């Protein structure tokens, strides 16, 4: 029986950096009363709370910054890892090279890089750019994968310092400590909470190789969705089936 449901945030529970749709709030509240809900995202804990709104406070675990910062349902910290200054500097140098490679004029240069503590992230267009522009930029992830392929030496240097890079969200690159990706941190939380993996499921919109949810594949069962509307249609179906004691 499914007891613990992990969700990606952007593109799965909400649109990119956007608030949850009001009609979706009661569905997630109902799910949270029956099962553990865990939100896994490259964003920060304040990002999660803002996007899911105060209506859902206290109803989910948070694996922020790809799980480098974990909090329980009450918002109490479970663990936190930090990238050092010595690791951050070469990340920022690579980001500058990538900016020149894309050669895109952005609305606000200060909106493109976030040093989050457990993770450094670079949004090509900017985190608060128009959502439709962000979704149209690289829907197949190929532009960002190609950009990463241009810098084998820089990526090897980062790996030697304990840092790995991956594409994430709609326009983002995430730089995390090796072994601190979504998959390893989902594993860590299941072990800490002594959850049976057969009772866990991860729902995400980027589960293909090279995408930011792919690290979870093989850790627990996964379900691919194309967007937040498909996610909540599935949640509604799940709740209805269990109410009727029907196993889907």
The pTM of the full predicted model, rounded to 2 decimals, is 0.87
> Residues of the chain whose pLDDT is less than 50?
247-248
Q: Who's near 118: CB < 8 A, 6+ residues apart?
A: 64, 65, 66, 68, 69, 80, 81, 82, 83, 176, 177, 180
Query: Does the 4-80+180-243 domain belong in CATH 3.40.630.30?
Result: no
CA 152, CA 110: separation in Å to the nearest integer?
A: 27
- Cross-strand bridge partners of residue 70: 63, 79
The reported pLDDT for the residue numbered 39 is 98
Rounded CA separation 173/39 (Å): 19
Distance CA 237, CA 225 (A): 14
Pairwise CA distance, residues 95 & 135, whole Å: 21
Residue length of the chain: 248
CATH tag, 85-177: 3.30.1240.20
Q: What is the pLDDT of residue 179?
A: 87
Q: Are 175 and 164 in contact (CB under 8 A)?
A: yes
- Six-digit token string for 23: 């009609």
- Using only the alpha carbons of the chain, give its radius of gyration: 18
> Parallel, antiparallel, or unpaired for β 200-204 and 221-224?
parallel
Residue 132 CB-half CA count within 13 A: 0
CA dist., res. 113 & res. 28, Å (int): 31
The domain locations on the chain are 4-80+180-243, 85-177
């Amino acid at each position: 029986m499914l007891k613990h449901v992990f969700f990606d945030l952007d593109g799965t529970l909400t649109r990119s950096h956007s608030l949850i749709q009001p009609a979706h709030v009661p569905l997630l509240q109902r799910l949270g009363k029956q099962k553990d809900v865990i939100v896994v995202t490259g964003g920060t804990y304040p990002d999660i709370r803002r996007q899911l709104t105060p209506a859902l406070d206290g109803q989910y675990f948070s694996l922020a910054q790809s799980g480098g910062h974990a909090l329980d349902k009450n918002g109490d910290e479970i663990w936190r890892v930090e990238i050092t200054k010595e690791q951050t500097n070469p990340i920022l140098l690579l980001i500058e090279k990538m900016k020149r490679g894309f050669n895109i004029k952005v609305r606000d240069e200060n909106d493109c890089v976030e040093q989050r503590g457990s993770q450094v992230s670079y949004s090509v267009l900017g985190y608060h750019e128009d959502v439709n522009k962000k979704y149209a930029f690289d829907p197949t992830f190929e532009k960002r994968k190609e950009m990463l392929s241009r810098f084998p030496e820089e990526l090897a240097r980062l790996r030697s310092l304990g840092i790995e890079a991956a594409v994430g969200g709609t326009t983002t690159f995430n730089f995390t400590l090796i072994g601190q990706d979504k998959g390893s941190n989902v594993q860590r939380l299941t072990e800490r909470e002594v959850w049976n993996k057969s009772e866990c499921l991860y729902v995400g919109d980027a589960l293909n190789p090279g995408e930011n949810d792919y690290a979870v594949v093989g850790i627990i069962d996964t379900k691919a969705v194309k967007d937040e509307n498909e996610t909540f249609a599935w949640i509604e179906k799940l709740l209805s089936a269990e109410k009727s004691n029907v196993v889907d």
